[in-house]
Homo-oligomer: A and B are copies of this chain.
Amino acid sequence: MFWLLSGHSMVKVLVDVDCGVDDASAIMMALADPEVQLLGITCVNGNTSVENVCRNTLRVLKACRRPEIPVFRGASRPILGNVLMAEAFHGKDGLGDVPDPDAPGLELIQKEGAVEAMIRIANEHAGEVSLVATAPLTNLALAVRLDPTFPKKLKGLYIMGGTTEARGNTTMCAEFNFAADPEAAYIVLNDFPCPTYIASWEFTCMNILSWDFYDQWLDQDSEKARFMKQIFQYSRDVSQRQLGEAGFAFCDAFAMAAAIDKSFVTECEEVPVTVELAGTYTRGMMVIDRMSYLKKEHKAFILQKVDMEKFKTLFMKALE
């Protein structure tokens, strides 16, 4: 195949997930792209327990017939240890509560821990790894504390998380991934000097796709589409029937799309960011320093506009 010859253009991706139906869509997008080399998937507590996240990730790989991708177990609790739950949206098992009797077992999880694996993989592919983080940032934060040189070896960091206008989805002002581990988000936004792209909650809300599109997406004749249809049903019901929302955004897929297709992102705000840790109402809120109040040199790229046609194409391919 042509893409094998043009190895220099391959995108090496490491994904950190709390899988999660939207994490599943991101993983499947990566696996469907011939120019993406998925180096591994690290799991972390978030939408559900890290054990569930490991199980769910193995199921996604099974549905994609890619069992060779290594999966690593990471942190079971956020930095400070106070665990948030997201069952209401993702189901008790974090993947729509449609158990697979033939699901792969946890014995398939790598013996090496997620944080150690992250550090090793970044060393083995120094300067080449795009780290896509679609979960609470606990593993990433632990990695930089264990090895301060870790983030410098990343080519780029693509985060789904944070709020840009204080419109929280978990607390009044904070988005789930940041609210679930504010200290980790703070550490990553302050101690990762690599190029950092952020798909915020408000950004994803501005880019929902219609239910009609989802019908089309899920009605593809493939094992992957049937799998996604099953695991998405629960969240779809919550969104469509209970909340009456006009459409839906697979938030995590935006971070992945940004990582695997440079031309997907058409406009960014480049600005220093950090996280509020101490607020009564604002703990976990992403804070944007447009006034250079913090004297930080590093600026993040906050996604403003993207090419939604490219997104739809990548998205459709994910289930082909």
A residues lining the B interface (CB < 8 Å): 75-77, 79-81, 113, 115-116, 138, 142, 145-148, 163-168, 171-173, 183, 186-187, 190-191, 274, 276-283, 285, 287-291, 293-294
CB distance from A50 to the nearest CB of B (A): 10
CB distance from A23 to the nearest CB of B (A): 21
A145, B77: Cβ atoms under 8 Å? yes
With contacts A79-B145, A145-B77, A146-B142 taken as known, whether A171 is within 8 angstroms of B293 at the C-beta atoms is yes
B291, A281: Cβ atoms under 8 Å? no
Q: How far is A288 from B146 in the complex, measured between Cα atoms in Å?
A: 30
The 10 closest A-B pairs by CB, nearest first: A279-B279, A165-B165, A166-B166, A282-B282, A281-B287, A278-B280, A278-B278, A276-B282, A279-B282, A276-B279
CB distance from A54 to the nearest CB of B (A): 15
CB-defined contacts of A116 to chain B, threshold 8 Å: 116
Copies of this protein in the assembly total 4
CB distance from A102 to the nearest CB of B (A): 29
B187, A81: Cβ atoms under 8 Å? yes
Q: How far is A145 from B74 in the complex, measured between Cα atoms in Å?
A: 9
A280, B290: Cβ atoms under 8 Å? no
Q: Which residue of B lies closest to A283 (CB)?
A: B279
A187, B79: Cβ atoms under 8 Å? yes
Q: How far is A275 from B254 in the complex, measured between Cα atoms in Å?
A: 32
A146's partner among B115, B147, B289 (CB-CB below 8 A) is B115
Given A76-B148, A79-B183, A173-B282; 12 other pairs, CB 8 A cutoff = A164-B166, A165-B166, A166-B285, A167-B290, A171-B293, A172-B287, A172-B290, A276-B280, A278-B279, A279-B279, A281-B287, A282-B287
A293, B79: Cβ atoms under 8 Å? no
Supply 12 A–B pairs (Cβ within 8 Å), ascending by A.
A75-B145, A76-B148, A77-B148, A164-B165, A164-B166, A166-B285, A172-B288, A172-B293, A173-B287, A277-B277, A277-B278, A281-B287
